[in-house]
Homo-oligomer: A and B are copies of this chain.
């Protein structure tokens, strides 16, 4: 009586109590960071006692912690500690960070590093622009491919079939009135990116956002990540200086690729 339908994972041979625990952890999102046992129970469709015991275990190991004021559970410190191990171990991140710092230093832009992951991308590193620092962590966030500069770069490195598969699976949700929602328009931009070696995004994910990105290759020459800059370039709009900025980003991305062993 496996509940493969529910979790969507084929749990053949997997340790189920562990799967359940992970399903519980997955309930804690940016939208719902505080949950009570009953909230979790409703979401994951297990019995309260089961949830209660798994939560107790995760609390004991500090993967969750109880907010004594609200009585709700939230993600615990162990998650943060482990994440620092993971990030500091990422050679991609470590090789790219100096470049990100340097881009901010020289041009006052924000700099981002993101990697492809199952038809989406997530950020591995980010350096804030001194002019418009963010108040939230971007590292770890997942974004769609069709509306971000890095996303388009990653798409450009795929075959047309792979791109079609991503669009089929993920759709092209709209975030602003600039978001590309037509596959044909997206393909045009991807073609352009393939020709020029960089991609752009102006207000497609959030209004006033602006990004220019280039691909980073691993030692096999495969594009596995993207580097982008955002915000203002020397105080002026990215769009105005697109070609100049693009050449800078391409060069930085190539430098990182080299560090990773791509010749």
Q: Check if A75 is an interface residue, CB within 8 A of chain B.
A: yes
Contacts of A105 in B (CB 8 A): 130
How many angstroms from the CA of A30 to the CA of B84 in the assembled complex? 8
Using known A-B contacts A75-B85, A86-B74, A105-B130, determine if residue A80 contacts B140 with beta carbons closer than 8 Å: yes
A70-106 vs B, CB cutoff 8 Å, 1 = contact: the mask equals 0000111111111111111100001001100100010
Q: Enumerate A1-26 residues with CB–CB distance to B below 8 Å.
A: 9, 13-15, 17-19, 21-22, 25
A79 lies within 8 A of B77 (CB) = no
Which one of A52-60, A151-159, A174-182, A197-205 is at the interface? Answer: A52-60
How many angstroms from the CA of A191 to the CA of B251 in the assembled complex? 54
B139 lies within 8 A of A80 (CB) = yes
Q: Using a Cβ–Cβ cut-off of 8 Å, how many residues does chain A contribute to the interface with B?
A: 59
How many angstroms from the CA of A58 to the CA of B139 in the assembled complex? 21
Q: Enumerate A36-75 residues with CB–CB distance to B below 8 Å.
A: 53-54, 56-58, 60-61, 63, 74-75
A136 lies within 8 A of B94 (CB) = yes
Q: Check if A208 is an interface residue, CB within 8 A of chain B.
A: no
Using known A-B contacts A25-B82, A142-B81, determine if residue A136 contacts B88 with beta carbons closer than 8 Å: yes
A17 lies within 8 A of B17 (CB) = yes
Copies in the complex: 2
Q: Check if A117 is an interface residue, CB within 8 A of chain B.
A: yes
Q: Which of A25, A127, A133 has the most chain B CB within a 10 Å cutoff?
A: A133
Contacts of A74 in B (CB 8 A): 86, 89
A28 lies within 8 A of B85 (CB) = yes
How many angstroms from the CA of A138 to the CA of B133 in the assembled complex? 18
Nearest residue, chain B, Cβ from A53: B15
Contacts of A58 in B (CB 8 A): 18
By a beta-carbon cutoff of 8 Å, the part of chain A in contact with chain B is: 9, 13-15, 17-19, 21-22, 25, 28-30, 33-34, 53-54, 56-58, 60-61, 63, 74-89, 94, 97-98, 101, 105, 117, 122, 124, 127-128, 130, 133, 135-142
